[in-house]
Structure 1
């Protein structure tokens, strides 16, 4: 997730899976996770999380509520204090101790990467495509290996973050002034996947941001299929205020599940529990008009909880049990930690804890049962 920018070119997909299908209704989604990458920064800022008035580390609260995965972001050279491989390893140890599996989210950038920008790390600049592919493969292999060495192995890995328009710009950028460059992008993506396989990662996700856009999703994954990219899980970001109604999400998931015969995971989602603002920076969502299903799911604590119940129902109805699950994006990102040093938090009303760190009713979404 990051501030959204429009793609320069229109986006109007993939084989196998490593998440074995089984009945959803009795167990709930098989993947019930959260991205907790800001946790160390929140704790350094003095934030405390409570459930039922009892203070505990956030990963322990979520595990007790039924969560079984954590998603951890890695940047190559971010500002001091932000997500690095070392901070991800620290959180990975804590996740493993809480009984949570790990989805590793490699951005392959010094700082934020999203559909509108995928900047190549400064340390990798000047490399040609072949050399960069070798770098990507080794970097990915080493990152996955580091988790295994400390006893918190990665269960799933994203090779890139929201790579709808490519990765590692400009060499891996798909949409350029002279047309579309899928082979170059695929070369780098395959290198990352090879590095993950080298280190024994059991499941590889390819993640884009088109949760409610079936045409855009097909366009991307069809091109990956044409390029011979082999991976396991389709990952989608789905934020209703950017990606459309739940009915649009349902239609997309149902089509993709049969078209590509792959498990589908919502790698990022969130919903407001208030339309208020916890700091001086404007929020992504501040008006009921931004919520396509707002009449059913208002921006309140009960509306947020109802949204997640409907999301579970949408996933449960995906054909062949392919709606594997979801990750809520940064449920504990409370006011006080910014996008970057000196900035505010535009996400503070999309959390699953209130501004005092108290658990909200939406945490029920992580239960294992139906």
Structure 2
């Protein structure tokens, strides 16, 4: 490791530790997170789309709340040009979510558009910055946006520092596997930015999120490296889409290993399945791509989370459950006419009394 890189990481880590000491983290030890990423829902409602249950139009948040959902996940882009997920839009969504009693997981993409394992485009405003300047930009942007949420009365309950960062973030600086030193510095800068926004002894839990729900070997490699850099975080987040990430047995093995090895809470923060033929037109599917098959899939995946050892399985989030008129809308909870599918009822038996 280069001396300057090591000094930078140690400096960031020291700052982060100081924040942790001064501001105790909140915990959600008793609550099981029944969640959905609803980042496109406001856009749909603003355009006049009516979400319905039994042909009756209702606010989207109300439908989810009435079926046991207690968390919402919302993504944030730096300066989006074609997508709605700006700071202002996300704050408005968070206000509506809080009004309906939801807790709030904020998903930083650190990009002007989608950030995932195939692409982690640096925001246009940060192009040309040195590594040190980029770390400072990540810190200041995270701190300032978090303060904006706090001042709006919708401070997040949990924060993801990066989205599906298996291959790094803010490419090329933080691209993995070649730039682990830079990547670690950027992650620590984001975490420090979250801590710097906290007041009244309250701070969100920090999630580190990758997309390898069925890949035990990669998961071990990634979190071993995170641990080696001394990065402090609270929750391990995974994505799981069976057509990309393996079988349910792969998922079970990976998540159980993760919980037992790292002694961290585990959340399946992205999961989805289609209610009509999409991914399995030319091969055998683990579940029928039908409304009932979609429901059965969520039931089985949730069973795996509930049975993670030592009560470390803390919850599950469906990815984009309310996103009509998109290329991936067959993964949502709603038909084209707006009526909600059978999958909405999966958590009724857990949440009603």
TM range (shorter): 0.7 to 0.9
Alignment gaps of 5+ in structure 1? 1-15, 23-28, 276-282, 336-344
Q: Is residue 185 from structure 1 mapped to residue 166 from structure 2 by the alignment?
A: no
SS of the residue aligned with 1:164? helix
User: Which residue matches 2:283?
Assistant: 289
User: Which residue matches 1:330?
Assistant: 320
Compare 209-218 and 43-52 and name the one that shifted more.
43-52
8 A Cα contact 1:105 1:157, kept in partner: yes
Query: What's the CA shift for 1:360?
Result: 0.9
Whole-angstrom CA distance in 1 between matches of 2:75 and 2:28: 25
Query: What's the CA shift for 1:365?
Result: 2.6
User: Which residue matches 2:337?
Assistant: 356
8 A Cα contact 1:41 1:81, kept in partner: no
Q: Match for 1:313 among 283, 303, 320?
A: 303
C-alpha spacing 1:248/1:202, structure 2 compared with 1 (3 Å):
same
Query: What's the CA shift for 1:44?
Result: 3.2
Whole-angstrom CA distance in 2 between matches of 1:346 and 1:55: 23
Q: Which has the higher contact order (CA 8 A, sep 6+)?
A: 1
Select the structure that is richer in helix.
2
Whole-angstrom CA distance in 1 between matches of 2:28 and 2:222: 24
C-alpha spacing 1:290/1:195, structure 2 compared with 1 (3 Å):
farther
User: Which residue matches 1:133?
Assistant: 135
1:218-238 CA distances to partner (integer Å, 9 max, x unpaired)? 111000000111101000010
Q: 1:32-43 alignment to 2 at 5 Å?
A: 32-43=34-45
Query: What's the CA shift for 1:45?
Result: 3.0
1:216-275 CA distances to partner (integer Å, 9 max, x unpaired)? 111110000001111010000101111111111000010000100001111111011111
Whole-angstrom CA distance in 2 between matches of 1:361 and 1:18: 34
Q: Is residue 227 from structure 1 mapped to residue 209 from structure 2 by the alignment?
A: no
Q: 1:109-124 alignment to 2 at 5 Å?
A: 109-124=111-126
Alignment gaps of 5+ in structure 2? 1-19
Whole-angstrom CA distance in 2 between matches of 1:229 and 1:114: 21
Query: What's the CA shift for 1:47?
Result: 1.1
The number of equivalent residue pairs is 324
1:320-356 CA distances to partner (integer Å, 9 max, x unpaired)? 0111111101111112xxxxxxxxx321111111111
Q: 1:213-252 alignment to 2 at 5 Å?
A: 213-252=215-254
8 A Cα contact 2:50 2:338, kept in partner: yes
Compare 29-38 and 235-244 and name the one that shifted more.
29-38
Q: Match for 1:155 among 141, 154, 157?
A: 157
Whole-angstrom CA distance in 1 between matches of 2:146 and 2:347: 26
Q: Match for 1:212 among 204, 211, 214?
A: 214
User: Which residue matches 2:193?
Assistant: 195
Query: What's the CA shift for 1:81?
Result: 5.0
Whole-angstrom CA distance in 1 between matches of 2:196 and 2:289: 45
Query: What's the CA shift for 1:41?
Result: 2.0
1:16-50 CA distances to partner (integer Å, 9 max, x unpaired)? 9964545xxxxxx7011111111122123321101
User: Which residue matches 2:264?
Assistant: 262
8 A Cα contact 2:83 2:113, kept in partner: no
Whole-angstrom CA distance in 2 between matches of 1:315 and 1:369: 14
Whole-angstrom CA distance in 2 between matches of 1:83 and 1:290: 36
Whole-angstrom CA distance in 1 between matches of 2:280 and 2:247: 17
Q: Is residue 303 from structure 1 mapped to residue 284 from structure 2 by the alignment?
A: no
Q: 1:33-112 alignment to 2 at 5 Å?
A: 33-112=35-114
Whole-angstrom CA distance in 2 between matches of 1:196 and 1:85: 15
8 A Cα contact 2:241 2:271, kept in partner: yes
8 A Cα contact 2:210 2:237, kept in partner: yes
Query: What's the CA shift for 1:53?
Result: 2.5
